[in-house]
Amino acid sequence: MPMTDLYSEFVNAGKLIAEVLQLKSVKFEIKKYETPNVGVDYICKASAEDTRFLFYLKTETKNKKKDYTKWDTLYLSLFFYNDYDVCQFYRYGQFKRSEKVNICQWASKAATEYKIKKNCNALDVLFGDRDIRVRGIPGVTNATLIEFIINLKGYLSWGADRLLVYRFHHKDDELEGLSYAFLIESRYLFYDYSFWCVFPTFVGTAGGTGYSGYITVESILEEAKKKIKVKIVDIEVPESEFLEFLRKNDSNIRRLKETKEALLEQFKIREVEEPVYKGPSRIKKYSLSRIPGEYEKGFLSAETMITFQF
């Protein structure tokens, strides 16, 4: 495929992604880098009201004649973000020159998969790639109202200028338990240490202390709305499914398991005392403030960046 056709198909694929997601008033920013004897980098950033995506194409060539139009390997990456910069879904693709590459088809398939998962409020998409830190042990001990108040009010007092809250409804006949999760945003330069603070099934609407706790939680959120931007998303999910997801994805439990396995392997013993983990997660985060991957510094084409809207 000639390089001019490759670039055109890349641009068309970016527009197709927006069409599949049915985004409105989309703003595009496309950058084009071409480096002799190395390859090309095409980057498409698109943003709409509540969704953003980053589409990335890169080629590598071993051509000794410094002809970057003849690539040996082609890489495709596609990242989807919500309006709070949480990477909710991503796909990679790697192709050799001998393979047939349909960029539009690949991009459309990835966008469709994301759309389906997002529309059904799949938990892995809702929480994305951020750490999940659960208060209490899912299905064993419950979080308390005072923990919620301390964590949320402490975060707001710290200087938050916006708040994203998930309100999970667990219906059981006439009873309804409620879980809450809010995103604590913490970024420094291009590093992102944001994480989810989750309080599973600690209040409800059936009366008693559970209901009084629910009223208190909602009053705190209503008060926050008067000061900052607050977005609350309601999700219906069975309690058992929600707790099982938390058991598998609680970052604190996962770290303890990984640490114990590493120590067992190192010292070849069966039982060790689990140390307390300190510091940010080592899991790679994808933030819009920094494009994943390293880019070769090459010559910019005459058409380096294009910004348009449709």
The CATH number of residue 207's host domain is: 3.40.1530
The count of structural domains within the chain is: 2
Claim to verify: residue 135 and residue 256 sit in the same structural domain: yes
| Residue 37 falls inside a structural domain | yes
pLDDT (average), residues 91-102: 89
* 23-32, 128-137, 206-215: least confident range: 206-215
Claim to verify: residue 136 and residue 261 sit in the same structural domain: yes
Claim to verify: residue 88 and residue 32 sit in the same structural domain: yes
pLDDT (average), residues 190-194: 81
Q: Dihedral sign, CA of 240, 249, 285, 292?
A: negative
**CA 216 – CA 198 distance, rounded (Å):** 17
Q: Quick check: 172 pLDDT over 50?
A: yes
| Residue 272 falls inside a structural domain | no
| Residue 217 falls inside a structural domain | yes
| Residue 294 falls inside a structural domain | yes
Model pTM score? 0.78
* 68-82, 210-224, 238-252, 293-307: least confident range: 293-307
User: What is the per-residue pLDDT across 215-233, written as a single tens digit (0 to 9) for each?
Assistant: 999 999 999 999 999 999 9
Claim to verify: residue 151 and residue 232 sit in the same structural domain: yes
pLDDT of residue 274: 45
Residue 187 is part of which domain span?
A: 130-267
**At 281, which amino acid appears?**
S
Claim to verify: residue 258 and residue 302 sit in the same structural domain: no
